[in-house]
């Protein structure tokens, strides 16, 4: 649990860690010249150890690794610092890596981040939009063919997750059989899906517990067409640190605020509502354009509303994620969040990370 925050929002466009790590980076950059802290200066192809050193964090400590930030099903080819990898966040605790969502690029991003597939045992899906799930087959299959290979993998998520996971082996069974018999990879490791069912009336439910973490979930609103959308709360046993992942939801969500109360880090989806009409205008079919406008405005969270959510939850640090609806530098979201924080009186740390940034716990 965290104390009521007393600091001011930090002007940081990359990863920031509680304590002094990111502040130290900022001060060093100011000493060397402001240009040294340009957005995306950390680079997206650097090994995890180098990136951790750049942010002042310990490569082996408990941390959040930002794998993918680009919300929505459309493939973007933007270059850093613009996001292009689909949503996926890694919580590393006690040497294990827990994935929250598994977008298309997750497997490659894990490699780029220097995270071992052998340490990934659990994936938690927030909902069944394909930008959050389409990376599952690649993770399940290709993480088997590396050294060290993954072990058994559990996938947790809303109802139909177990059916979806079974479908991976069903769809790629022939390919798996071929490599089992002649590829030198041994038996295909276990792959099991777990349906998490939260009552319609809501509430907080425990999802899993192991030697490192306890995970709870609650139902959040992500539009009437998405029957089951979840947020997750991780409590790290060794330190007591609490990290909450909002998933996709419309802010302010009362259930999310309850789940996140007193947390150390709240990772929350962020939409720039100023760009909604720009993307709507690109849709030639008027009915489809209207449906997209409704979905974006009623099912996602305006970045300007997030400091109010963090203040209500008494979250020590607010981390922005799932940038939509158009690719923009993280600094754009940060500036809007900071302005909103001034208006509502949120005095915690605000982080607008780039992909592959590391946030120490």
The residue extents of the domains of the chain are 21-30+55-360
The sign one gets for the Cα dihedral 59, 63, 66, 67 is positive
* Structure tokens belonging to residue 282: 């690109």
Q: How far, in Å, CA of 282 to CA of 302, rounded?
A: 20
Q: How far, in Å, CA of 71 to CA of 296, rounded?
A: 11
The sign one gets for the Cα dihedral 348, 274, 75, 13 is negative
Look at residue 59 in the predicted model and tell me its pLDDT.
55
* Structure tokens belonging to residue 224: 């009437």
Look at residue 238 in the predicted model and tell me its pLDDT.
97
Task: Give me the count of residues in the chain.
Answer: 361
Three-class secondary structure of residue 270 per DSSP? strand
Q: Buried b vs exposed e over 10-34: b needs ≥16 C-beta within 10 Å?
A: bebbbbbbbeebbbebbeeeeeeee
Q: How far, in Å, CA of 246 to CA of 270, rounded?
A: 10
Nearest one of 95, 96, 76 to 86, comparing CA atoms? 76
Q: Does residue 361 contact residue 64 with C-beta atoms inside 8 Å?
A: yes
Sheet holding 63-68, edge to edge: 191-195, 153-157, 120-124, 96-100, 88-93, 63-68, 358-360
* Structure tokens belonging to residue 130: 């394909």
* Positions of the chain with pLDDT lower than 70, given as ranges: 1-60
Q: How far, in Å, CA of 137 to CA of 142, rounded?
A: 8
Q: Does residue 31 contact residue 322 with C-beta atoms inside 8 Å?
A: no
- Hey, what CATH topology would domain 21-30+55-360 get? Metallo-beta-lactamase; Chain A (3.60.15)
Look at residue 256 in the predicted model and tell me its pLDDT.
98
Q: How far, in Å, CA of 41 to CA of 263, rounded?
A: 29
Look at residue 184 in the predicted model and tell me its pLDDT.
84
Name 319's Cβ contacts closer than 8 Å, sequence gap at least 6: 64, 265, 266, 267, 268, 351, 353, 359
């Amino acid at each position: 649990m965290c104390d009521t925050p007393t600091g001011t929002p930090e002007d940081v466009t990359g990863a920031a860690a509680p304590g002094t790590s990111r502040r130290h980076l900022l001060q060093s950059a100011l000493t060397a010249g402001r240009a040294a802290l340009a957005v995306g200066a950390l680079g997206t192809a650097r090994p995890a150890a180098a990136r951790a050193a750049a942010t002042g964090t310990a490569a082996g400590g408990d941390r959040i690794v930002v794998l993918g930030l680009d919300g929505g099903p459309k493939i973007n080819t933007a270059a850093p610092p613009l996001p292009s990898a689909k949503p996926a966040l890694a919580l590393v605790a006690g040497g294990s890596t827990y994935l929250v969502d598994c977008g298309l690029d997750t497997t490659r991003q894990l490699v780029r981040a220097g995270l071992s597939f052998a340490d990934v045992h659990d994936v938690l899906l927030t909902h069944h939009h394909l930008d959050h799930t389409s990376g599952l087959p690649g993770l399940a299959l290709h993480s088997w063919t590396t050294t060290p290979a993954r072990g058994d993998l559990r996938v947790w998520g809303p109802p139909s997750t177990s059916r979806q996971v079974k479908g991976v082996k069903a769809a790629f069974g022939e390919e798996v059989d071929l490599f089992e018999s002649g590829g030198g990879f041994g038996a295909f490791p276990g792959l099991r899906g777990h349906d998490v069912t939260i009552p319609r009336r809501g509430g907080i439910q425990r999802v899993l517990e192991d030697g490192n973490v306890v995970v709870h979930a609650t139902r959040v609103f992500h539009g009437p067409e998405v029957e089951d959308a979840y947020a997750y709360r991780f409590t790290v046993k060794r330190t007591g640190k609490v990290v909450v992942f909002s998933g996709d939801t419309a802010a302010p969500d009362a259930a999310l605020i309850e789940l996140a109360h007193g947390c150390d880090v709240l990772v929350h989806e962020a939409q720039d509502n100023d760009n909604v009409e720009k993307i709507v205008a690109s849709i030639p079919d008027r009915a489809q354009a209207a449906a997209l406008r409704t979905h974006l405005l009623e099912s996602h969270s305006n970045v300007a509303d997030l400091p109010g959510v963090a203040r209500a939850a008494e979250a020590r640090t607010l981390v922005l994620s799932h940038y939509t609806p158009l690719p923009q530098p993280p600094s754009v979201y940060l500036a809007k969040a900071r302005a909103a924080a001034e208006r509502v009186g949120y005095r915690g740390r605000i982080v607008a990370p780039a992909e592959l940034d590391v946030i120490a716990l």
